[in-house]
Amino acid sequence: MEPTSGAAVSEQTFTPGTSSRALVELRHVDKHFGPLHVLRDVSLTVDRGEVVVVIGPSGGGKSTLCRAINRLEVIDSGEIAIDGRPLPAEGRELARLRADVGMVFQSFNLFAHKTVLQNVTLGQIKVRRKGRKAAEERARGLLDRVGVGTQADKYPAQLSGGQQQRVAIARALAMDPKIMLFDEPTSALDPEMINEVLEVMRQLARDGMTMVVVTHEMGFARSAANHVVFMADGRIVEETTPDEFFTAPRTDRARDFLSKILHH
């Protein structure tokens, strides 16, 4: 499936002349959890600078799709390629590739025994082989950017959920990733903290970061996405622009879903 939202990506920073615009390509991906068929023949292309928001009912395969892109879930069949290179098997090659793919989890997963600053410098020092000074400078810059600069020396458990998630975003950004994956980043947050995280994500999108976002935040999908992917029962049911999806969904499944979440 080729994306249909050419107009929507034009405002993003995007280098013409590169051989391929596609940064992530999934082709005919299938995945089972035991008897459960969680991904059914899923094909999806994410272009450079594009923000793809994946929405749909729980258990529809959204998170699995997101986690399959950096091989935290191993797929049964099909192909996934990042920047033109197919995902390698577990090992050094895969680790190198993962360093280029930032991931933000629902449950933050900040390293509990390390300070906020150490969380953000760890990957830079141990994977990117940067010096401690340069890594800390970059980390403080990123922490300021996501609005938690004053919390650098605290431990994750001392921070609110919203602050922890913003640190997690900074930790991923510190690797200078080509793409950021967000797996329900606001689902574990108290309502009043959701916006501070979404605002950071909107800023990232404006800066031209390529993003795949699994979320239940329809407001975010509407305002930040170039592309909405609606998933249910392991399939991509609909793939279109946010405007089209929210005003004129083509499938009954999507209409049904939207009617349940938008009017109450």
Binding site residues, another protein, CB under 8 A:
70, 72, 90, 92, 95-103, 105, 107, 109-113, 122-123, 126-127, 155, 157-158, 168, 171-172, 175
User: Which helix (H) or strand (E) element contains residue 27?
Assistant: strand 22-33
| Under 8 Å between Cβ of 139 and 121 | yes
The residues, any chain, with a CB within 8 Å of residue 145's CB and separated by 6 or more, are 170
Q: To the nearest whole angstrom, how small is the minimum distance from the Cβ of residue 120 to another protein? A: 10
Q: Nearest Cα to 149, choosing from 116, 107, 103? A: 116
Give the nearer residue to another protein in terms of CB position, either 126 or 255.
126
Give the nearer residue to another protein in terms of CB position, either 17 or 91.
91
The residues, any chain, with a CB within 8 Å of residue 91's CB and separated by 6 or more, are none
Q: To the nearest whole angstrom, how small is the minimum distance from the Cβ of residue 37 to another protein? A: 23
Q: To the nearest whole angstrom, how small is the minimum distance from the Cβ of residue 70 to another protein? A: 6
Give the nearer residue to another protein in terms of CB position, either 62 or 171.
171
Using DSSP's 3-state secondary structure scheme, residue 136 falls into helix
Distance between CA atoms of residues 180 and 201, nearest Å: 10
Specify the DSSP class assigned to residue 132: H
Q: To the nearest whole angstrom, how small is the minimum distance from the Cβ of residue 58 to another protein? A: 19
Give the nearer residue to another protein in terms of CB position, either 6 or 131.
131
Q: To the nearest whole angstrom, how small is the minimum distance from the Cβ of residue 91 to another protein? A: 8
Give the nearer residue to another protein in terms of CB position, either 92 or 133.
92
In DSSP notation, 193-258 reads HHHHHHHHHHHHHHTT-EEEEE-S-HHHHHHH-SEEEEEETTEEEEEE-HHHHHHS--SHHHHHHH
Q: To the nearest whole angstrom, how small is the minimum distance from the Cβ of residue 137 to another protein? A: 19
Give the nearer residue to another protein in terms of CB position, either 106 or 241.
106
